[in-house]
Amino acid sequence: MADNTQQERVGVYVCHCGSNIAGVVDVQSVARFAAEDLKGRGVVVARDYTFMCSVTGQELIEQDIREQGLTRVVVAACSPHLHEGTFRGACGRAGLNPYLAEMASIREHVAWVHTDKAVATAKAKAIVNGAVERVLRNEPLEAIRVPIEAGTLVVGGGIAGLQTALEIAEAGYPVHLVEREPSIGGHMAQFDKTFPTLDCAACILTPKMAAAGSHPHIQLHTWSEVEKVEGYVGNYTVTVKKKPRYVLEDVCTGCGICIEKCPVLVVDEAHDAGIGYRKAIYTPFAQAVPNIPVLDPDTCTYYVGGKGGCRACEKFCPTEPNSIVFDQQEERITLRVGNIVLATGWDLFDARRIHQYGYGRLANVFTNLELERMCNAAGPTGGKVVLRDGQTAPARVGIVHCVGSRDRNYNNWCSSICCMQSVKLAHLVKERTGAEVFNFYIDMRTPAKDYDEFYQRVLDEGVHFIRGKVAEVSDVPRGPDEQGPLFVQVEDTLAGLQRRIPVDMVVLSAGLEPRRDSKAVGKTFGIACSTNGWFIEKHAKLDPIATMTEGVFVAGCAQGPKDIPASVAQGAAAAARVLSYIRQGELALEPVRASVNEAQCSGCRLCNGLCPFNAISFIEERRVTEINAALCQGCGTCVAACPAGAISGSGFSNEQLLAQIEGLLLDVARVPEPA
């Protein structure tokens, strides 16, 4: 390997990170090692400092670049993920190309994983040595600048997506809001009251829905799904599949006559959670936005009973031309957007999976969502809480918490909202029926503002709280004297005894799950899901909105279970992130990109199907592969795969990596050279 590294002047900065690093690593010794042992490798300055990321720490670097003429900088501190930007910035301000700085991770890779100070210090030295060898071979890079499309795609019209759409539209920029259901509103539109204030869900949601529906900057695409996403931050091309409504959206007035006249009643599995009915042509609920019905060809007599049957909706439709179009086809529309916000929400845990709780087997076992619909004045029972017979009010109701959540047999996570939701439902049931209500909980989790106060209130209202995991819900009495009709078998862990509570109705507070197709959706948008299926944010604490794909953000429950306030906050936060991109007008992309050396590319096409960002294309005429630098995110998959070594990644050359590895092997016994 040719060594052109002799003339460089390297500065090494060892951070204490308070005691985070200095508590385990002898930072002075590491700095001394750099100053003395690496003098021959061009190190002219080596310092240790309490907090390199502080303003003073950064100024140390800037000052040394100016006064000592540093041409390379190594900061031994935390991880590049956290502070690479900080130290590159410092270099940039002092006139050094930011990409001539390297970080040596001696916190995450050393201090946090070792306890033996001597070993940790030796390892820190090796890592610093590797970083010095690497930085000597770094080349100055220039950020790639691309313009940003002002439009934004918001996927999902629940409360999180609505918030995002409204914030961006209010700022004056166009939003395309894509919703897979016939109406926006999401799960919140199904609820009756919201905890802890008990304000009516519809009353606070529908103004936002209406605002989104009529906003001049928001274009709704309901009954639609995103099919394909191409491009990169600032320049996405999105293909949206518009499912046929069989109703002309721009002609229909939403008068509802077609719904009234439709003779087909269908169980409403979606909005009414399976306990109500809708027609074959329907709007999911009265305040639906847009207020345009959708015709369900799976149940409509026109399609089911052979062509031409019924046609009542068409006959009675008062518009000119007629709004009903039986042969409407699906359409595809192409949108150009700069940013994408995924607010695709959650699915309810299927309570049938826990067989011993009896849902689907015992008639009077309900899910929380069914109870929500019953409590809702616009719901199938007109706000009455009744048993499955549709008339009898229950006298004793058991509400089971953590159904499918915090359970290693189902989902390990806490669904975060079920405690409060169960407390709220207990209150509503008691209010509506005067029933005796038992809540069965493992732990009560009421950490947000006014939540515990609400729990206390419901306790004072006389709702019973029994701490224990329900073993079984049964309808079989243990003897002739036992009065059910249902029995909740539970170990009361506070009283220290097994209890068997007779009730009329059991409500299962089912947990939140990722959307069943979240992995496929993630793939469409080029972002990853955790093994559980929630979308992965860029940083769990410090960047919970962004993803590893630039220009794609997540908000609401798609990222993990959360309540309405948190979803709204995330929706707004996503809007802020998008607006900051839009306002910049153009973006500086990381210049770490792959490129193809055409002379070496044989056109074998091994790499062609590998790019997660669709940056690779094959040029048939020249029989070579090409990489679009703006699409490329620098992940390196193709670089590793190229058997010809024709693809290289800037900032990650073989020379850099091998030099770094050799540097890391500072103290490792060399494999003996055979004579």
Partner 1 sequence: MSKPRFAMYWAAACGGCEIAVLNIDEKVLELDAHFDVAFWPAAMDVKYKDVEAMEDQSILVTLFNGSIRTDENEHLARLLRRKSKLLVAFGSCANEGCIPGLANLSPREQIFERAYTSPSTENPDRIRPQPACQVAEGTLTLPPLQPVVRTLDQVVEVDYHVPGCPPESHQIAAVLDVLIAVVKGEAQLPPKGAVLGAGNSTVCDECPRKRDVKRIDKLARIQELPPLATDVCLLEQGLMCAGPATRSGCNSRCPNVGAPCIGCYGAAPDVLDQGARLMTAIASVVEAQEPEDIDRVLDGLPDPAGTFYRFGLAHSLLRANRAALAEKP
- Give the nearer residue to partner 1 in terms of CB position, either 569 or 644: 644
Only one residue has tokens 């991109």, namely: 581
Q: Return residues touching partner 1 (CB under 8 A).
A: 599-610, 618, 623, 637, 640-646, 654, 658, 671-672, 674-675
Q: CB 553 → partner 1: shortest distance, Å?
A: 29
- Give the nearer residue to partner 1 in terms of CB position, either 588 or 610: 610
Question: Under a CB-based contact definition with an 8 Å cutoff, are residues 434 and 394 in contact?
Answer: no
Question: Under a CB-based contact definition with an 8 Å cutoff, are residues 60 and 94 in contact?
Answer: no
- Give the nearer residue to partner 1 in terms of CB position, either 172 or 645: 645
Q: CB 652 → partner 1: shortest distance, Å?
A: 14
How many other β-carbons are positioned within 10 Å of the β-carbon of residue 246? 22
Q: CB 1 → partner 1: shortest distance, Å?
A: 10
- Give the nearer residue to partner 1 in terms of CB position, either 307 or 670: 670
Token digits of residue 266:
């269908």
Bridge partner residues of 220 (DSSP): 177
Q: CB 600 → partner 1: shortest distance, Å?
A: 5
Q: CB 650 → partner 1: shortest distance, Å?
A: 15
Token digits of residue 30:
């590491």
Q: CB 444 → partner 1: shortest distance, Å?
A: 41
- Give the nearer residue to partner 1 in terms of CB position, either 249 or 626: 626
Only one residue has tokens 């936005």, namely: 289
Q: CA 240 to CA 25: how far, in whole Å? A: 54
Residue ranges of alpha helices (H) inside 137-193 are 159-170
DSSP state of 536: P
- Give the nearer residue to partner 1 in terms of CB position, either 476 or 671: 671
- Give the nearer residue to partner 1 in terms of CB position, either 494 or 671: 671
535, 194, 228: which is closest to 376 by C-alpha? 194
Question: Under a CB-based contact definition with an 8 Å cutoff, are residues 374 and 385 in contact?
Answer: yes
Q: CB 603 → partner 1: shortest distance, Å?
A: 6
Q: Environment class of residue 114 by beta-carbon count within 10 Å: exposed (0-12), middle (13-18) or buried (19+)? A: middle
DSSP code per residue over 218-243: EEEE-SEEEEEEEEETTEEEEEEEE-
- Give the nearer residue to partner 1 in terms of CB position, either 286 or 528: 528
- Give the nearer residue to partner 1 in terms of CB position, either 496 or 672: 672
Checking phi first, is residue 345 left (phi over 0); if not, alpha (psi -120 to 50) or beta?
left
Question: Under a CB-based contact definition with an 8 Å cutoff, are residues 663 and 132 in contact?
Answer: yes
SS (H, E, C) 364-395: CEEEHHHHHHHHCCCCCCCCCCCCCCCCCCCC
- Give the nearer residue to partner 1 in terms of CB position, either 216 or 674: 674
C-alpha distances in angstroms, 567 versus 159, 178, 205, 397? 7, 18, 13, 30
Q: Could you tell me how many residues make up the chain?
A: 675
Bridge partner residues of 465 (DSSP): 439
Q: CB 516 → partner 1: shortest distance, Å?
A: 17
- Give the nearer residue to partner 1 in terms of CB position, either 574 or 631: 631
- Give the nearer residue to partner 1 in terms of CB position, either 332 or 623: 623
* Pairing outcome for strands 218-221 and 224-232: unpaired
Residue ranges of alpha helices (H) inside 69-153 are 80-93, 117-136
- Give the nearer residue to partner 1 in terms of CB position, either 63 or 608: 608
Q: Report which secondary-structure segment, H or E, holds 31.
A: helix 27-37
C-alpha distances in angstroms, 71 versus 59, 65, 74, 174, 651? 16, 7, 11, 45, 16
Q: CA 183 to CA 259: how far, in whole Å? A: 16
CA Rg value for the chain: 31
- Give the nearer residue to partner 1 in terms of CB position, either 140 or 645: 645
CA 36 vs. chain centroid, Å, equals 48
Helix, strand or coil, per DSSP, at residue 65: helix
Question: Under a CB-based contact definition with an 8 Å cutoff, are residues 649 and 593 in contact?
Answer: yes
- Give the nearer residue to partner 1 in terms of CB position, either 476 or 599: 599
SS (H, E, C) 439-486: EEECCCCCCCCCHHHHHHHHHHCCCEEEECCEEEEECCCCCCCCCCCE
Q: CB 323 → partner 1: shortest distance, Å?
A: 45
